[in-house]
Structure 1
Amino acid sequence: MRNRPIPGSAGRVRPLRLLGDPVLHAPCGPVTDFGPQLARLVDDLFATMYRASGVGLAANQIGVPLQVFVYDCPDDEDVRHLGHVVNPRLVEADGVTVRGPEGCLSLPGLEAGTERFDHAVVEGVTVDGVPVRIAGTGFFGRCLQHECDHLEGLVYADRLTGLRRARLLRAARRASWS
């Protein structure tokens, strides 16, 4: 059995972009260069995600407007899901709609009840261009939808309405990082 490095162990931690940064609010472009820079980006995403104690991280959250995200996220049965997706497409989001607490590394320390489907399927490729199809339910399904939203220029606050949205945005304005 070949020893594989721990994801992110060769990466460098990059600064996180925070709510209000224009890169978080614009759709990301597709990856067209599958060279060593892409592999470094994925390593950096893992390193940054782990440092910030996250379960997922999209490339635009570190200022790179490309369609890439990484994840290390449990599902509701505590099964660990670990990987990355390049040029992901959310091809299924269905099942019951669940409102659950959702946070984001680009809104540190804040969370709000956010509606998401209980099941999601994402298709894309790996850094090597190999097709992947990832299905998730529960918390992991929420993570897949959340990261795909980032690549479309959305943060979870954009999914909130009414009082819930107003409270989150007020808290964000008052946050020490704002």
Structure 2
Amino acid sequence: MSKLEIVNVPDPLLKTMSDPVGQVDDDLRRLMDDMLETMYDAPGIGLAAIQVAVPKRVIVVDTEGDEEDRQPLFLVNPEITWESPEFNVYNEGCLSVPEHYAEVERPASVKVKYLDYDGKEQHQLMEGLMATCVQHEIDHLNGVVFIDYLSKLKRNMIIKKVQKATKGVTVL
């Protein structure tokens, strides 16, 4: 496994619509393993392939936090099939928008269809932080970053701060 470079805003790659994956093979599993290592090292709780410059519909998540409690989830071609009418607000952050957070409102629960690490189709009800994290990462696959939910003024201010803070810095 190896750590990958994380793409930061305003890189236009983050606005790219990711391509569906045809099949889960050893190359894709290697990518997912590398993404997981990158996410844990950052540290974060979710990472989309587009954030490491791979425009494929792949995300990894683990909302447990503690190393001994890790429960990584690998989602290939994730698709939300149901959203609850109730909403939650979380103070979200993003590995592609380092050091910046904002409250975002999303459905409290979602049902997600995806292929797992072994290529088997799964259907899962996700609630709370896991639901928020998966929606955040699926947004990335559709070219949406959480700051897109903010006002244009606040979004532009955050982008300028990220550019200034990361000027000449390579994030690995």
Aligned-partner Cα distance in 1 for 2:111–2:162:
31
Aligned-partner Cα distance in 2 for 1:23–1:108:
16
CA contact (8 A) 2:10 2:159 kept: no
Match of 2:45 in 1: 55
Report Cα offsets for 1:148-174 as digits up to 9, x if no partner. 101111110112236543553453344
Larger mean CA deviation between 97-106 and 157-166 belongs to: 157-166
Match of 1:113 in 2: 103
1:26 aligns with 2:6: no
CA contact (8 A) 2:83 2:111 kept: yes
**Structure 1 stretches (4+) deviating beyond 4 angstroms?**
none
Aligned-partner Cα distance in 2 for 1:72–1:52:
13
User: Aligned letter for 1:126?
Assistant: D
Aligned-partner Cα distance in 2 for 1:100–1:164:
17
Q: CA deviation at 1:47?
A: 0.6
Match of 2:117 in 1: 127
TM-score normalised by length of structure 2: 0.85
Larger mean CA deviation between 153-162 and 40-49 belongs to: 153-162
For 1:44-123, list aligned pairs within 5 A.
44-74=34-64, 81-123=71-113
Larger mean CA deviation between 117-126 and 54-63 belongs to: 117-126
**Identity across aligned pairs (percent)?**
34
Report Cα offsets for 1:74-95 as digits up to 9, x if no partner. 49xxx97531110111112223
Match of 1:41 in 2: 31
CA contact (8 A) 2:47 2:61 kept: yes
TM-score normalised by length of structure 1: 0.83
RMSD of equivalent CA atoms: 2.2
The alpha-carbon distance between structure 1 residues 33 and 103, as it changes in their structure 2 partners (threshold 3 A), is same
CA contact (8 A) 2:9 2:163 kept: no
SS at match of 1:113: strand
Gaps of at least 5 residues in structure 2 are: none
SS at match of 2:138: helix
- Higher-RCO chain (CA-CA 8 Å, sequence separation at least 6): 2
Aligned residues: 165
